[in-house]
Amino acid sequence: MITIDYAKCVKCMKCLMVCKRGVLRPASDGSGRPEVYSGEGAECFSCGHCVCVCSAGAITAAGADSTGFAAAPSSVPAYEEYIGFIRSRRSARNYKKDHVPGELVARVVDAARYSPTAKNAQGVCVTVVSGGAVKKLAGLTFDFYKNLMDTVASPLKKYAFMLLAGLSTVRTIERNAPAFEYGYKMWLEGADLLFYDAPVLVIVHADKTLVMPKDDCGYALYAMALAAETLGLATCINGFFLRAAERSSGIRKFIKLPSGHEVYGAMTMGYPALKFSKVPARRPVNVTYINSEL
């Protein structure tokens, strides 16, 4: 709920400029002030932009939305510093056994608050798996894939599965079978090629009915991955687990996934066991610029 203190308002109309949701409009009395409109077509999604742009301090957001406003930083990292930072993030596949303190994990998780969310839904949920639970989850993930491999190895089961999941899914499973067989063999021998013995697994999930939950979770996961780097931790996004979590009821139960939620991302996290002395080459972006004169 947005309110305007007209005693403070200097009629700069910056709040109207930032609010594209039809909530702040020119006052109908012709006074040249903004007014809060609550009729049809006005939908405040509590983005807080009006509060933040009003240097006169005339706008207040009531209720839960009013907490957590802070002064904007006076500067941001230099471009070179920023690029150097994101270039130095590596997908870590070797972790120290060291325990990651809970307060450090909490700081990483907190970074998820500040990534953008469609319609400002702020519905990204995080589940942190740690200790022996990571190994248990790895076991459940391997069980899931083993079951899948066994299914496509049996002609009858494969046919039934194909009717259900489609030919392209079966082909994908068959293509990945040798890599899985190797990972599974190593797992049975005590090597973890899934989570790399990481002490922590961070999972992002959200209500499926949000506007764009998958995107929201993806941005939040990356925000957390970068936050982890600033704290001396390293991460690796785990698509292999994600695909299993989407389908395995055992995994969903183990991570206590709320009903109506979907898992949209996961990453292992821990102290890196290796230091990279270089950053790798990456292909230039295939970019298209469209800029015709009208």
Ligand X SMILES: Cc1cc2nc3c(=O)[nH]c(=O)nc-3n(C[C@H](O)[C@H](O)[C@H](O)COP(=O)(O)O)c2cc1C
Residues that bind ligand SF4 in the complex, under the rule CB under 6 A: 2, 4, 9-15, 18-19, 21, 23-24, 34, 44-50, 53-54, 56, 58-59
**How far does Cα 115 stand from its chain's mean position?**
8
Q: Which of 149, 212, 231, 242 binds ligand X (CB under 6 A)?
A: 212
Minimum gap (Å) between residue 128 Cβ and ligand SF4: 31
Per-position x/- string for 242-271, each x denoting binding to ligand X as judged by CB under 6 A, each - no binding: ------------------------------
- Could you say which of ligand X, ligand SF4, none residue 252 binds, taking C-beta under 5 to 8 angstroms by partner kind? none
Minimum gap (Å) between residue 54 Cβ and ligand SF4: 3
CA angle 215, 219, 220 (to 5 degrees): 115
Report how far residue 154's alpha carbon sits from residue 174's, in angstroms, rounded to the nearest whole number: 12
- Could you say which of ligand X, ligand SF4, none residue 50 binds, taking C-beta under 5 to 8 angstroms by partner kind? ligand SF4
Two tokens, residue 32 = 């040249």
Q: Which of 187, 219, 222, 264 binds ligand X (CB under 6 A)?
A: 219
34-36 and 24-26 beta bridge pairing: antiparallel
CA angle 262, 220, 116 (to 5 degrees): 110
In the three-class reduction of DSSP (H, G, I as helix; E, B as strand; rest coil), residue 236 is classed as strand
Minimum gap (Å) between residue 182 Cβ and ligand SF4: 52
Report how far residue 18's alpha carbon sits from residue 164's, in angstroms, rounded to the nearest whole number: 48
- Name the residue type at position 37: Y
- Name the residue type at position 224: M
Give 286's DSSP letter.
-
Residues 117-136 that bind ligand X (CB under 6 A): 117-120
Q: Give the residue with the Cβ less far from ligand X, 114 or 182.
A: 114
Distances (CA, A) of 50 to 117, 123, 144, 287: 18, 22, 49, 34
Q: Are 175 and 229 in contact (CB under 8 A)?
A: no
Minimum gap (Å) between residue 63 Cβ and ligand X: 17
Binding status of residue 110 toward ligand X by CB under 6 A? no
- Could you say which of ligand SF4, ligand X, none residue 58 binds, taking C-beta under 5 to 8 angstroms by partner kind? ligand SF4
- Could you say which of ligand SF4, ligand X, none residue 237 binds, taking C-beta under 5 to 8 angstroms by partner kind? none
Max CA separation in the chain (angstroms): 78
- Could you say which of ligand X, ligand SF4, none residue 10 binds, taking C-beta under 5 to 8 angstroms by partner kind? ligand SF4
Minimum gap (Å) between residue 82 Cβ and ligand X: 18
Contacts with ligand X by CB under 6 A lie at 45, 47, 116-120, 212, 215-216, 219
